[in-house]
Amino acid sequence: MYYLAIRQFARTLNNLDTILGKATSYAESRKFDANNYCSERLFPDMLPLANQVRIATDMAKAAAANLGGKEAPKFEDNEKTVEELRARVRRCISFLEGFSAADFEKVNAKTVIKIPFPQGKALHADEYLLGRQIPNFFFHVTTAYNLLRKGGVDIGKLDFIGPLELLDA
Amino acid sequence: MYYLAIRQFARTLNNLDTILGKATSYAESRKFDANNYCSERLFPDMLPLANQVRIATDMAKAAAANLGGKEAPKFEDNEKTVEELRARVRRCISFLEGFSAADFEKVNAKTVIKIPFPQGKALHADEYLLGRQIPNFFFHVTTAYNLLRKGGVDIGKLDFIGPLELLDA
């Protein structure tokens, strides 16, 4: 499960990268600066797009690092343009794609994983992945999507879901 | 994994129920009809809150039914009030809570699950859960959250995530 969840994070981030590309194309077609999206918020006291993308990638790379036993790359949190956000997303995808199923063989339901908040607390691996990382990850990718969707970008849920490995029924 | 994912859907729907309750309280405090939220949209061609809640529950119950081998309850898709949406959410939670880990023992990575769209197609169980049901489920719960958040309701991400089974690190 752990490996497949990390693989899904990479796929969803790939969809996010495409969505961010569509934001740039839309801005070009309307002749405004696509980077205006970086500071857009759904509501004044919510985090802007840049932070939504940052937190989504942070959730994915922390999950991979903690469950798969590799050190995560550090991101500087200083992205100011859509292209810089896309570069971060792609760096995160590269990190996630460096894992194979074998990397997760040492983890099991009893593995304890420290979390940054609340301080001094930890979760069992399944709770960490299913209760914390997956909901947080999709929360922030969806909020990024909603921000761009509300900001006029021509995207639909299929862009968010991406291609599936369909079989004939 | 299958059982834990279904259990997580139930937990997240429980959080959604609480969030919908906060929407009602907020509307009462501002003396407007909470049911106005049901038709609210983030953007004019997006689905309104009622549909976001409906699809989230549909994704969860279909996953449980298809992976756990029980028939899902039918919902009439006619909810017009926040209370009716909350009743739907709670009916879905009851259905999900009727499963135990043993119900998912017959499913494995090669199990083929038919999907409603595209017609005539299916997915392997892992792809169905991780690539389709989980992303769709969190997409719609998050969009419901964002709609209410943007609509003034005093909620934060902790309401969305809910309580975790914390350990001392």
Q: Do B43 and A150 touch (CB under 8 A)?
A: yes
Minimal C-alpha gap between A140 and chain B (Å)? 9
- Determine the pLDDT at residue B78: 97
Residue B144 near residue B16 (C-beta atoms within 8 A): yes
Q: Do B150 and A42 touch (CB under 8 A)?
A: yes
Which residue does chain A place closest to B152, by CA atoms? A43
Q: How confident is the model at residue A18 (pLDDT cuts 50, 70, 90)?
A: very high
- Determine the pLDDT at residue A90: 98
Minimal C-alpha gap between B75 and chain A (Å)? 23
Which chain B residues are closer than 8 Å to A130 by Cβ? 4-5, 7-8
Interface predicted TM-score (ipTM) of this complex, two decimals: 0.98
Which chain B residues are closer than 8 Å to A8 by Cβ? 130-131, 134-135
Give pLDDT tens digits for A55-81.
999 999 999 999 999 999 999 999 999
Q: CA B93, CA B14: separation in Å to the nearest integer?
A: 7
Of B68, B75, B70, B104, give the one whose Cα is nearest residue B90: B75
Q: What percent of chain B has pLDDT over 70?
A: 100
- Determine the pLDDT at residue B103: 98
| Per-residue tokens: B108 | 């494995």
CA B91 centroid distance within chain: 11
Residue A53 near residue A85 (C-beta atoms within 8 A): yes
Q: How confident is the model at residue B151 (pLDDT cuts 50, 70, 90)?
A: very high
CA atoms within 13 A on the CB side of B141: 36
Q: State which amino acid sits at residue A123.
A: L
Q: How confident is the model at residue A114 (pLDDT cuts 50, 70, 90)?
A: very high
Nearest by CB to A123, from B127, B139, B166: name it.
B166
| Per-residue tokens: B80 | 């017009």
Range list of H helices, chain B: 2-30, 49-68, 82-97, 125-126, 134-150, 157-161
Which chain A residues are closer than 8 Å to B4 by Cβ? 126, 130
Helix, strand and coil percent figures for chain A, each rounded to 5: 60, 5, 35
Q: How confident is the model at residue B72 (pLDDT cuts 50, 70, 90)?
A: very high
* pTM, 2 dp: 0.98
